[in-house]
Amino acid sequence: MFVSLARRPRREKQVPLSGGALTFYPVTRVETRPFEEGDLTAAGRLLAARHSRQRQSRPLLSPRFEDPAVAEAEVTAAWKGDEASGAVALRAGEIVGYLLGAPKPGSLWGPNVWVESAGQAATEPEVIRELYAAAATRWVDEGRTAHYVLVPSDDQDLVRAWFRLGFGHQHTHAVRPLPERPATPPTCLRVRRAERGDMPTLARLDVELPAHQRLAPTFSAGELGSYEESLAEWEEDFDDPDFATFVAEHDGRVVGSAVGCALEKSTTNNGLIRPDHAGFLGFAAVFPDARGLGAGRALGEAVLDWCAQTGFGSVATDWRETNLFSSRAWRALGFQDTFVRLHRLLGY
């Protein structure tokens, strides 16, 4: 089982038109123009309304962002990002949607632009398609052809609007309530806190995760790192009280590990994605020859129990959707999708 590594780490009425499994919303004509600083307040209102709708189905998300002033601060942060740009959509002079993106440094994500969790909101999903057409023209002119966007997962019409722009589902963020009672692992397994003597195995499991992510059907381009580097990190960080590391034993052999921490430790769970005072299932890995024993689930449950004992209000995690083990295991453990990362690579 694998998850991502956090350690070291007046509005017109819209009538839906049914079309098979899809619902289409007719959009009266909108005009688009580049996003300007004077658009921040209107964008904040739109974002607060979007988040309020999302919390109806995902109440564990923070209520803070339902406040238009707080939401505006998030939009402002996105607008002030290095090389940020975007567009707004207007109807009869009123802003009915916005889209903001900015590149991330480094080569890992390609010549990229990211629309983060506060980077979009609109009165109708179809408006997003107009906004992308306007904003992406500049992005492509700048040579940025790898596009990533974080979308509230419960808004299926919005997700479909992005799908109809050529995007696919790459990554998932999720949250669940705390467990009501401690879990019992399978009788063939022993789950315990890690000890210093486990560090060589923990280092091997650290390398196992990115190696697995490189295989079908994920095909990740993330760096593998080395056993020696991982072992050195464990020797330096093992006693860090901010992280709780668990191992699963089978017949006296450690076959998997998991790490829990505060969600604030994750650099990829920021802004509207982050529930207040949440714990984080930040890492889990099981050796290939030990799969099928229930070790991944048992390790996940150990982190959930630790989060409950530590006093967190909920537990979050995230995973590559193409990782078959993670996408099945963590939903089976009760995690509900909150945001999905969609991706499009242009030019092919």
Q: How confident is the model over 5-29, as pLDDT tens digits?
A: 444 443 334 444 444 455 555 556 8
Read off the pLDDT of residues 291-319 as tens digits, 9 standing for 90 and up: 999 999 999 999 999 999 999 999 999 99
* pLDDT of 1 over the 90 cut: no
Mean per-residue pLDDT, 76-83? 97
Q: 17-176 maps to which CATH number?
A: 3.40.630.30
Cα(240)–Cα(281) distance, integer angstroms: 16
Domain 190-335 listed as CATH 3.40.50.720: no
pLDDT of residue 25: 54
* pLDDT of 4 over the 50 cut: no
Read off the pLDDT of residues 36-71 as tens digits, 9 standing for 90 and up: 999 999 999 999 999 999 999 999 999 999 999 999
- In the chain, domain spans: 17-176, 190-335
- Mark out the alpha helices in 246-314 (DSSP H runs): 295-310
Mean per-residue pLDDT, 200-208? 97
Sole residue written with tokens 């982190």: 303
Q: Taking the CB of residue 163, how many other CB atoms lie within 10 A of it?
A: 16
Cα(248)–Cα(190) distance, integer angstroms: 6
- Tell me what percent of the residues of the chain surpass a pLDDT of 90: 89
Cα(138)–Cα(24) distance, integer angstroms: 28
Query: Contact at 8 Å (CB) between 99 and 131?
Result: yes
Mean per-residue pLDDT, 92-97? 97
Both tokens assigned to 46: 């739109």
Sole residue written with tokens 């707004």: 88
pLDDT of residue 221: 85
Cα(74)–Cα(341) distance, integer angstroms: 18
CA torsion angle 275 280 285 291 (round to 10): -70
* pLDDT of 103 over the 90 cut: yes
Mean per-residue pLDDT, 130-150? 98
Query: Contact at 8 Å (CB) between 312 and 178?
Result: yes
Mean per-residue pLDDT, 87-109? 96
Read off the pLDDT of residues 236-251 as tens digits, 9 standing for 90 and up: 999 999 999 999 999 9
Read off the pLDDT of residues 155-175 as tens digits, 9 standing for 90 and up: 999 999 999 999 999 999 999
Judging by beta carbons within 10 Å of its beta carbon (0-12, 13-18, 19+), is residue 1 exposed, middle or buried? buried
Cα(71)–Cα(78) distance, integer angstroms: 11
pLDDT of residue 35: 98
Query: Contact at 8 Å (CB) between 283 and 302?
Result: no
Cα(198)–Cα(258) distance, integer angstroms: 13
Q: What is the mean pLDDT of the chain?
A: 93
Mean per-residue pLDDT, 337-344? 98
Query: Contact at 8 Å (CB) between 257 and 283?
Result: yes
